[in-house]
Amino acid sequence: MLQTVVTLINLSGRRLTIAEEKDTEQAKLGIDAARALLPLLPEEEAKPVKDALAQLQMAYVRASQEPPAEEPPKPKPESKIWTPPGSTT
């Protein structure tokens, strides 16, 4: 049971911290599942898991409040003025 909870916490952490894997909804599911299993752990195993889960929940709150990443603006095409060959400016 402990290994399952730890795996859920680790996977949820990846979904919050690794840009290529970012998915706050999946992180929330993992957090909720870990919280649901927490009462089934013996007390001596639950204490460090509770601490890790609290940190993960704080990371989730921060990630949920961040504005979505925007695509970088596309460069505007340069406007060039055509001048006939041989003319002087």
Domain membership of residue 81 (yes or no) is: no
Domain membership of residue 77 (yes or no) is: no
- Report pLDDT digits (tens) over 32-54: 999 999 999 999 999 999 999 99
Count of domains observed in the chain: 1
Higher-scoring residue by pLDDT: 56, 89: 56
Q: How far, in Å, CA of 86 to CA of 12, rounded?
A: 66
Question: Average pLDDT over the chain, rounded to whole?
Answer: 84
Domain membership of residue 76 (yes or no) is: no
Whether the pLDDT of residue 79 is over 90: the answer is: no
Domain membership of residue 87 (yes or no) is: no
Nearest-5° Cα angle at 52, 46 to 58: 130
Give the mean model confidence (pLDDT) for residues 4-26: 93
Token pair belonging to 47: 């204490």
Give the mean model confidence (pLDDT) for residues 59-86: 69
So what's the pLDDT on residue 66? 72
Give the domain extent around 34: 2-65
